[in-house]
């Protein structure tokens, strides 16, 4: 596929949120609005929600700490999160490795039917063979940060 086609494919979910159709994704994905660390421009990124605990939504920085959205959050807090039809100003935090490994384990348990695909994708992203063991989860948590988003009080 050409670069233009790939860009259109990856931007399609953002366009659905732009047109108020983010509810089609339910709570499976969220749309994060963040501010560029150099440009000051607002960007929107759609991320898979890998877990929800007490109103906190967890996502993985799939390209590691070099992910643009992750680097932007390190500079300035997120402007907005949309999950389904729920829109809120968030606070965020990066999970420690132990908590991240627990969130990953719960995600794998809920999605057992895609485990073989998940292991292949994670192995590609991580650059080593991910086998789903506790040790592999801990190692992955150190390499691919997991971020939690929660609505600001008030």
pLDDT digits (tens, 9 = 90+) for 13-30: 988 898 888 888 989 999
- φ/ψ bin of 84: left (φ > 0), alpha (ψ from -120 to 50), beta (otherwise): left
What three-state secondary structure class fits 153? Answer: coil
Torsion of the alpha carbons at 121, 70, 89 and 42, rounded to the nearest 10: -110
Hunting for tokens 């990856």 — which residue is that? 10
Mean pLDDT value across residues 22-50:
95
Residue 59 token pair: 């996502």
Mean pLDDT value across residues 65-91:
96
- For 61-72, what is each residue's pLDDT tens digit? 999 999 999 999
Percentage above 70 pLDDT, the chain: 98
User: Which residue range(s) make up the domain with 112?
Assistant: 3-151
Predicted confidence band at 57 (pLDDT cuts at 50, 70, 90)?
A: very high
CATH number reported for the structural domain that contains residue 113 in this entry: 2.30.110.10
116 Cβ contact list (under 8 Å, min separation 6): none
Work out how many domains the chain is built from and give that number: 1
Q: In the chain, count of helices (H) and strands (E)?
A: 5, 8
């Amino acid at each position: 596929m050409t670069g233009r086609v790939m860009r259109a494919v990856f931007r399609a979910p953002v366009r659905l949120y732009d047109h108020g159709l983010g509810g089609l994704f339910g709570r499976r994905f969220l749309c994060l609005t963040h501010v560029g660390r150099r440009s000051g421009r607002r960007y929107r990124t759609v991320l898979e929600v890998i877990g929800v605990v007490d109103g906190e939504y967890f996502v993985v920085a799939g390209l590691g700490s070099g992910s643009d959205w992750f680097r932007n959050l390190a500079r300035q807090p997120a402007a907005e999160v949309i999950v389904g039809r729920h829109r809120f100003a968030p606070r965020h935090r990066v999970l420690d490795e132990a908590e991240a490994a627990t969130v990953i384990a719960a995600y794998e348990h809920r999605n057992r039917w895609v485990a073989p695909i998940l292991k292949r994708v994670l192995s590609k992203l991580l650059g080593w063979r991910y086998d789903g063991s506790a040790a592999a989860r801990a190692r992955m948590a150190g390499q691919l940060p997991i971020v939690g988003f929660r609505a600001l009080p008030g």
